[in-house]
Amino acid sequence: MRRDIFQAIADPTRRAIIALIALQAMTPNAIAEHFDITRQAVSKHIKILAECELVSQEQQGREIYYSLEIEKMKEIDQWLEQYRKIWETKFNQLDNLLTNIKKQKK
């Protein structure tokens, strides 16, 4: 099954994993230490993140380290940009309305 990046970030555990590995590459065991779930559950989450190309892995000796693919995160940012513009427009309209209300009260 082809997953997309939004399926990956829909789960709070996966978002937390992303936040962890954004700071530094980590092994699955090191990641699992931060969660109250099994190592196998963490591995499933990592697998989904890898399928969505949000994480990359690097073998170092016997250990596999996972790190965040920052470039892939830009897809999320680009999608959000359209809504950011809408929100900014709405906030500016609200700001103008509040300014007008204040002027009328004076």
pLDDT in tens, the chain (106 residues): 567 899 899 999 999 999 999 999 999 999 999 999 999 999 999 999 999 999 999 999 999 999 999 998 998 999 999 899 999 999 999 999 999 998 888 7
| Both structure tokens of 32 | 């699992």
CA distance linking residue 84 with residue 49, whole number of Å: 25
What residue ranges do the domains of the chain occupy? 1-68, 70-106
* Residue 12 pLDDT: 96
Q: What pLDDT was estimated at residue 105?
A: 83
Of the chain, the end-to-end C-alpha distance in Å amounts to 62
Amino acid identity for residue 37 in this structure: I
Q: Which has the closest alpha carbon to 8: 71, 72, 57?
A: 72
CATH class of 1-68: mainly alpha
The C-alpha atoms of residue 14 and residue 44 are separated, in whole angstroms, by 10
Please tell me the pTM assigned to this model. 0.77
Contact 56, 66 (CB under 8 A): yes
